[in-house]
């Protein structure tokens, strides 16, 4: 159930009802660990509203020592909305909602760039719930950046300029090579889409930068040189360490991030060690900008 949207100047994260959750923030900007909760418990559905409030408050929330089956993982995610199936998921997989991301001696990690998930969809995901099945002894951390704070750090003139722009997002930029398909093949089902450069969060009303280096190809109405310059400038905002947190994985750890306001970066520093993750993704709605 979607919460009521607030205007950016009236929304107050402190008013969100997080119930009795034991929450410990990672940084003032983004991220919090939630302790003392079993996401596979039979009564977990009753905790969904407060977990959702914690997600809205912190952008990404983390849980340790979760012994979920794939079915429990899927059931927990369904508490937040409809689920989506990623085109990289094998068609004969028993649980198509689960995207398995495995790297090791024969597969170096490729997610090591700042991005939001599936922005090439007309309706990109609300969020993703990533469960660590196997992790290296060290390395393989994931970083998260608060793109609302990135927007707030732009000058007022830059905000006004960007708020009137739209950008094109293209699945082929990443997945043509990974899936062994031509861009034309992918575009038959997933044609390039346009989204606002600055999007409004549908639940909080906050504004966030909504372009990313993985999937954004260009900004409409600008020359290629202008588009490249502006995109490089906006991409770089995610690299600000003061709007980030960094999470060190253990087997059984979960990260649940709000894809509408976060970007993330999976650090691929662990090759040739193995890192096996399983992701279930909650469908979202079409991005918009409310002036």
For 204, list phi and psi in degrees, rounded to 5: -105, -20
CA nearest 38: which of 57, 21, 56?
Answer: 21
For 270, list phi and psi in degrees, rounded to 5: -110, 0
Tell which phi-psi region holds residue 31, choosing left (phi > 0), alpha (psi between -120 and 50) or beta: left
And the tokens for 54?
Answer: 């914690």
Q: Which is it for strands 275-282 and 98-103: parallel, antiparallel or unpaired?
A: antiparallel
Ordered alpha helix ranges (H), 129-194: 147-152, 156-162, 172-179, 183-189
Question: What count of Cα atoms within 13 Å lies in the side-chain half-sphere of residue 69?
Answer: 6
And the tokens for 196?
Answer: 């606002």
Cis peptide before 272 (omega within 30 of 0): yes
And the tokens for 233?
Answer: 């400038």
And the tokens for 146?
Answer: 């608060």
Give me the active site residues, please.
115, 117, 264, 279
Distance in angstroms (rounded) separating the CA atoms of residues 33 and 31: 7
């Amino acid at each position: 159930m979607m919460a009521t949207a607030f205007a950016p100047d009236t929304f107050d994260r402190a008013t969100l009802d997080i119930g009795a959750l034991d929450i410990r923030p990672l940084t003032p900007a983004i991220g919090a660990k939630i302790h003392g909760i079993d996401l596979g418990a039979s009564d977990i559905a009753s905790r969904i509203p407060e977990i959702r409030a914690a997600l809205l408050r912190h952008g990404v929330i983390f849980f340790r020592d979760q012994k979920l089956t794939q079915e429990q993982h899927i059931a927990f995610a369904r508490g937040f909305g409809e689920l989506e199936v990623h085109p990289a998921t094998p068609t004969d997989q028993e649980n198509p909602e689960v995207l398995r991301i495995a790297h090791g001696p024969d597969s170096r990690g490729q997610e090591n760039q700042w991005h939001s998930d599936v922005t090439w969809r007309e309706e990109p995901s609300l969020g993703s719930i990533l469960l660590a099945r196997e992790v290296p002894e060290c390395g393989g951390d994931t970083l998260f950046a608060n793109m609302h704070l990135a927007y707030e750090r732009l000058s007022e003139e830059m905000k006004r300029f960007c708020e009137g722009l739209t950008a094109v997002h293209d699945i082929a930029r990443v997945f043509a090579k990974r899936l062994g398909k031509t861009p034309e093949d992918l575009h038959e089902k997933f044609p390039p889409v346009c989204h606002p450069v600055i999007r409004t969060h549908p639940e909080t009303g906050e504004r966030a930068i909504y372009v990313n280096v993985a999937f954004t190809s260009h900004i409409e109405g600008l020359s290629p040189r202008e588009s490249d310059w502006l995109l490089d400038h906006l991409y770089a905002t995610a690299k600000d360490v003061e709007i980030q947190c960094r999470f060190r994985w253990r087997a059984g750890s979960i990260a649940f991030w709000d894809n509408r306001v976060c970007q993330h970066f999976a650090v691929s520093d662990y090759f040739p060690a193995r890192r096996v993750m399983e992701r279930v993704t909650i469908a979202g709605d079409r991005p918009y900008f409310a002036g």
